Structures are given as C-alpha cells and as structure tokens.
Structure 1
Amino acid sequence: MNKKISVDSLVKAAMLTALSIIFSRFFGIFITPSIKFSFGHLPLMLAGIILGPLPGALAGLAADLIGVAINAGGTPHFGFTLVSVLTGLIPGLITVYGKRKNISLKVQIGLMVFFVFYICHMFLNTLWLSQLFNNPYKVMLATRFIKVLIDGIINYILLYFIVTKLVPKIK
C-alpha cells in the first residue's frame, strides 16, 4: 500500500516537534544534573496518538536531534535519542491497538504513561544517566524514582485532558 503523507500531517508533526523542543530545551528545569522537569515529551506522545506510531517516532527523533543541535542542555547520548523515539512510537502503537480491541481511553493513556514514564524514563533514562555520570545505576534509580512517579501522574492527567478536550478539535 502506497500511503502518501499529507501536508496537514506534516505540519502537525512539525508543530508538535517544535513544541517538544521548546518545552524540553528552553522551559525544562534542572533540579539536579540527573533530575529535570519538563513537558517536552507530551507533544511527542500526542504526535503518536494523533498521527500514528511512525510519525510519532520520527517526531521524537527530529525533536532530539534538532534539540541537541540548537541547545545541548547536556551531553548527547544515543540512548536518550532512542527514548525520544520510543516516546512518540509507544503511544501510537497503543492507540492503534486500543482502537482495534476497543480499549477505553483511560486505560490506553494509563498504558502509555506506564510504558513511556515507568519503563523508558525511569529505567532506560536512568541507565543512560548512570553511564554519563559514572554513578551506580541503583543509586540513580532511587534518586529518580519519586520524580518519575510524580511525572507520570501529572502527565496522565494532562494527556487525558488534552486528548479528550483538544485533540478532537485538532483532528
């Protein structure tokens, strides 16, 4: 099947990528070198939800590569690029699967938050940070646990609100 990318989808992906860069690179707040609060992942998750898994993954890739080129805000690392790609890919896959299996929106968003925050951000990002800072993984995991737990709860609420109130107007 030869499916062309519409201009509308391309513009949406570019806007969500730009929002991700702005939220994470310019409005992100570092508490410690290994703990950063930002909402840069929300636009990437929305790209996956609205546009699908592949455009979501590409938005994540573009956001990370362009973000590093504009404002490093830390050391570039392939692992963080991978997590950025997964942040756009996973919600897209869950949305596709959820629609096929008639899974409720609350459960879909719960699964997205679980996989993106509690698997990718907690375990994978902590692994990459432990490599960068040469700190023991378990020590870094303990310091990041509360932050990621709070992040997941806040982002579940925000994502549910955005998907129920704003996405129908965007589509």
Structure 2
Amino acid sequence: MQKMKWNTEAIVLLGVLISIEVVLSRFFSISAWNIKIGFSFLPVVVAALLLGPLQAGIVAALGDLIGALLFPVGAYFPGFTLTAFLTGIVFGLFLHKSQSMTRVIEAVAVNQLVLSLLLNTLWISVMYHSPFSALMVVRIVQCAILIPIQIIMIRLMSKALNHDWKKAIV
C-alpha cells in the first residue's frame, strides 16, 4: 500500500475539501434536530477517491468539528464527529482503489445503514433522551432518500475526476 505524500498540494486540497464540507453541511443541507439531507458527503468522497481513507476521515471529522464550532446548530456532541471520521474511513476503504458499482453500493450501504441509521440515531437518542426506535422510523426515510442520491453522485464523481491528478498527489 502506497503512503500519501504530505506535500503542499495535498494539504491545500485537504483544506479546500474541509471548507467545502463545512459550507455544504451548514448552509446547503436540509436539517432538523433528528434528520439531515444534503451533499456534504461529496468533498469527503473526493478525499476518499484521491487521497485515501485516513485523509477522507480527516476531511469529514474536521469539517464536522469546524462547522460545529463556527456555525453551531445545537450543542456539540463528539459522537457525531466520530461518526463523520468513520464515514470518511469507510468511503476511503471502499472507493480509494476501485469505484465499481458494487463497491459504491457497499460503501453507501455501510455508511447509511450502519453509521447514519444506527450510530447517529444512537447519538441523537442519547443527546435528546428520545426513544431509539421512534427516531429510527423517521431516520429510515432519510436513508431511503440519501442512498440512491449518494450512489448516483459517487458514480458520476468517480467518472468525472481526472485520475492522472490522483497520481500526482499519492
């Protein structure tokens, strides 16, 4: 496995992707206390495709942390930052080397069904002292909406990215 070079270009790319994640998450998402639909996964996926799992996790976690500090929507809860980091790791593990339809579906399924539906629902339940099963019903709708959107967008993005640029960074 090839290690990423922590060169200026890669660090700048991480900063840009983190900034885009914050903007998409905080200003271009539909959010309520228990549901969030948006495109903030896109910069995380770009990091996963071009840089790998760790860097995608960093983009997601720092994007969540910076967004929560600069533009709070409610009380900060570190569980969501952990889930964001794991989301980036999963996208990177599944998509960094290959973006076949099967790998895209697997990445989205793990992220949406395990991390978003189960883990984030647990965090919401803990934060707001709400029944887990009642939250789950509403959050299933979020996953049903996001799964096809993420699959389509990731496939389009992986085809659109210039993989020669990837070789320059990795």
- Report if TM-score (shorter chain) is over 0.5: yes
Q: CA deviation at 1:89?
A: 0.9
2:27 aligned residue: 26
Q: Are the aligned partners of 1:46 and 1:88 in contact in 2 as well (CA < 8 Å)?
A: no
Task: Report the CA distance shift for 1:2/1:44 in structure 2 as closer, same or farther (over 3 A).
Answer: closer
Q: Are the aligned partners of 1:45 and 1:87 in contact in 2 as well (CA < 8 Å)?
A: no
Asked if 1:15 corresponds to 2:16, the answer is yes
Q: Are the aligned partners of 1:126 and 1:144 in contact in 2 as well (CA < 8 Å)?
A: yes
Asked if 1:165 corresponds to 2:166, the answer is no
| TM-score normalised per structure 1 | 0.87
Structure 1 residues without counterparts, runs of 5 or longer: none
Asked if 1:149 corresponds to 2:149, the answer is no
Q: Partners of 1:167 and 1:112 in 2: how far apart?
A: 21
Q: Partners of 1:11 and 1:142 in 2: how far apart?
A: 40
Q: Are the aligned partners of 2:121 and 2:135 in contact in 1 as well (CA < 8 Å)?
A: yes
Q: CA deviation at 1:169?
A: 7.0
Q: Partners of 1:33 and 1:92 in 2: how far apart?
A: 28
Task: Report the CA distance shift for 1:147/1:167 in structure 2 as closer, same or farther (over 3 A).
Answer: farther
Aligned residues between the structures: 165
| TM-score normalised per structure 2 | 0.88
Matched residue SS, 2:161: helix
2:73 aligned residue: 73
Aligned-pair identity (%): 28
Q: CA deviation at 1:2?
A: 8.1
Task: Report the CA distance shift for 1:88/1:167 in structure 2 as closer, same or farther (over 3 A).
Answer: farther
1 or 2 for the larger relative contact order (CA 8 Å, sep ≥6)?
Answer: 2
Root-mean-square deviation (CA, aligned residues, Å) is: 2.0
Q: CA deviation at 1:110?
A: 0.8
Q: Are the aligned partners of 1:16 and 1:59 in contact in 2 as well (CA < 8 Å)?
A: yes
